[in-house]
Amino acid sequence: MDPRPAATPADPLRWGFLATGKIARTVADDLALLPEHRMVAVGSRSAESAASFAAEHAPGATAHGSYEALVADPGVEVVYVASPHAFHLEHARLALEAGKHVLVEKPVALRATDAEEMVALARERGLFLMEAMWTACHPVVLAVAARLATGELGRPRHVRGELGFRVDAEPGDRMLDPALGASALLDMGIYPLTLAHLLLGEPVGLTATADLSERGIDLDVVVTARHADGALSTSSASMTSWSDQAAAIATDRGRITFEGQFHHPSRAWFTPVPDGSDNDSTLEVAPEEIVPAEPPLGTGYTHELREVARCLAAGETESPLVPHARTLAVMRTLDEARALAGVRFPDDPAD
């Protein structure tokens, strides 16, 4: 892939938004904070929805009444796929076959085989593809990972994360409809699982249990994983209750905690336990802030958008922050956890 000149306000990276739901609106608000990025087109299944979205988020952007028209728009360089999970492969394929680079909302697909097909097509076409896993691009999370990699904070032995909130929606809502990929694991559990992958690597052993709805989707789920060198992770997600939406990393020298929701934290802290404390937590010293290279901007989606622009300017077809290998590894973990929990989607292949 030939490099694209670095995006600037005079020559912004030109985005096309595929779908106009809640996540697209949130990402559009963050994109508006970046003068070197511009939404030039939006596509929806209805011309009215596309026009309304463009008027609210990007006046002057072209509104397309179909996804096919959006990906054919010659002014669009990168397509952001924001449709429900069940349609990610179809819509990413549409964009890639039209010669567009793609940022696809997480989870990248419903299952690992679909994600593998998506990655293979991007590589075949020589196009950029990235899952919109904003956590992996977030400066605070990156600072934590970098400090852990040096060994100065100790060896991580346990990563815990939970994300949950009540979903009060109609049965046909994408959060509750199996045909649209509804799943607490895929919607929320992917965040603590990604954090565990980022810090501990792909699991070598897994257990999972869930409470299922009458339609067979996981409303509450807990995944426990064993990683290399015996490190453990516990990840939980809920669509029925309000969790503290927190994460913590226990090392053999202390613990790391996050301020704010862990998947887009405002700050992070390391609290060491001095040698010779004899397990007496009262001897902990004052926490040290883990300072990121740059402060978080906006809600946090800005950083994944900037990473796309950086990769295109470098001629990279995948991001080192969200590499295809990790995206596929997380999808394999989701597949295994879903199977252990007894969750199936209508179009899952027969066993």
| Residues forming the active site | 106
Q: What is the dihedral of CA 259, 262, 268, 274, to 10 degrees?
A: 100
Q: Measured between alpha carbons, how far is 133 from 110 in angstroms, rounded to an integer?
A: 15
Q: What is the per-residue burial (b if ≥16 Cβ within 10 Å, else e) of 10-22?
A: eebbbbbbbbbee
Contact at 8 Å (CB) between 283 and 254?
no
Both structure tokens of 303: 């950083």
Residue type, 22: K
Angle between helix 190-200 and 139-150 (nearest 10): 30
The angle at the Cα of 121, spanning 118 to 122, to the nearest 5 degrees, equals 85
- Type and span of the H or E element at 218: strand 218-226
Residue 50: CB atoms within 10 Å: 26
Contact at 8 Å (CB) between 157 and 231?
yes
CA 207 from chain centre, in angstroms, equals: 22
Residue 294: partners with Cβ closer than 8 Å, 6 or more residues away? 139
| Interstrand relation of 156-164 and 247-251 (parallel, antiparallel or unpaired) | antiparallel
The angle at the Cα of 254, spanning 251 to 257, to the nearest 5 degrees, equals 90
Contact at 8 Å (CB) between 175 and 305?
no
Residue 351: CB atoms within 10 Å: 5
